[in-house]
Copies of this chain bind each other. A is one copy, B any other.
Amino acid sequence: MSVARIAVVAGDGIGPEVVAQARKVLDAVLPGVEATEYDLGAARYHRTGEVLPESVLAELADHDAILLGAVGDPTVPPGVLERGLLLRLRFDFDQYVNLRPSRLWPGTTGPLASVKPGEIDLVVVREGTEGLYAGAGGALHRDTPAEVATEESLNTRHGVERVIRDAFARAGRRERRKVTLVHKTNVLTHAGSLWARAFAAVAAEHPDVETEYQHVDAAAMFLVTQPQRYDVVVTDNLFGDILTDIAAAVTGGIGLAASGSINPERTYPSMFEPVHGSAPDIAGQGLADPVAAVLSVSLLLDHLGHPEAAERVSNAVAAELASRTPGERGSTAEIGDRLVAHAAG
């Protein structure tokens, strides 16, 4: 029997290159993983018109986790792969915890003058199955002066409370034990009230965890001026989309950012992927940095109950980044080899 059955969606552009390194590292720290490759993304869409056939969705469901590289290219119309593949998986597999850690790793430099490596270590717990991502909306009188278009944010107590619970559980395992709720309760009063009341209820069960609330505009600002203040941030789907890119920006860019779309109960497979895209301009040249994909493997291992292997992987990344000479990091595969060596050693 295999230790874990992983579906691998390498995808487009640099996706296959970084996923190859991620798999090398995964095999090194957890031998015996059974990996099955699935051909999904822009290339398949162009070739066959298919985004995610039902039969493939059913096969994916029969895995412990999904490792994804990157999908998309500029010629696919907006929304096709997003709604048809990425969001489809998040929603159908009930991946309600969209987990995005951000650290300013020793050895790297961020854009902020006053922040030193090691000082930023936060994780955004973004809701993944509700809000404005529900796909509820429509349009009337298209292409006339009377046109109206709507987008609806749907929020349930069920969906909001469970992601807040996850955030508090994660905070309880961290050193600072602090959770910041981010919303816009002063304008989005209905959803804001639901989030605030669910947050207060869960907070009452965790007297050992410090809490704070911030409006999303203030949080966006403080992520730039004082990112050190955050530990765990819990927020809705769209706010999380925006805030995690700011958090990535202040920690050296999305090139280093990993993410997990997690179903904590493991009823369905969770998906792990680097935040960066398929970067078609540098694809196939060994120029991509596989670090974000490898960090995604660390999140995957942690989710599957291998915290020690997960830590070996993140320690390998830490060692790699700390030892880099600017401008001389080597090819994608060379970085992968060094990461394997660090993880093994």
Contact = CB atoms under 8 A, between A and B. Distances in A.
A29 to B, nearest CB: 31
Interface string A185-207: 11111111110010000000000
A304 to B, nearest CB: 28
B157 A78 contact: no
- How many chain A residues sit at the interface, stated as a range, is 35 or more
B158 A111 contact: no
A159 to B, nearest CB: 9
A283 to B, nearest CB: 19
Contacts of A78: 185-186, 189, 192
A155 B145 contact: no
A56 interface: no
Interface in A226-255: 238, 241-246, 248-250, 253-254
A82 B187 contact: yes
A132 B153 contact: yes
A57 interface: no
Contacts of A249: 220-222, 224-225
A152 B149 CA distance: 10
A129 to B, nearest CB: 13
A58 interface: no
Interface string A91-126: 000000000000000000101111000000000000
A55 interface: no
Interface stretch (A19-27, A133-141, A289-297, A306-314): A133-141
Nearest to A148: B156
A221 B245 contact: yes
Nearest to A246: B220
B87 A149 contact: no
Nearest to A244: B217
Contacts of A222: 249
Given A222-B249, A224-B249, 19 more contacts: A79-B186, A79-B189, A82-B187, A83-B187, A111-B113, A132-B188, A137-B189, A137-B190, A137-B191, A138-B190, A139-B190, A139-B194, A145-B158, A147-B157, A148-B157, A150-B154, A150-B190, A152-B152, A218-B245
5 tightest A-B contacts by CB?
A: A147-B157, A224-B249, A149-B194, A217-B245, A113-B113
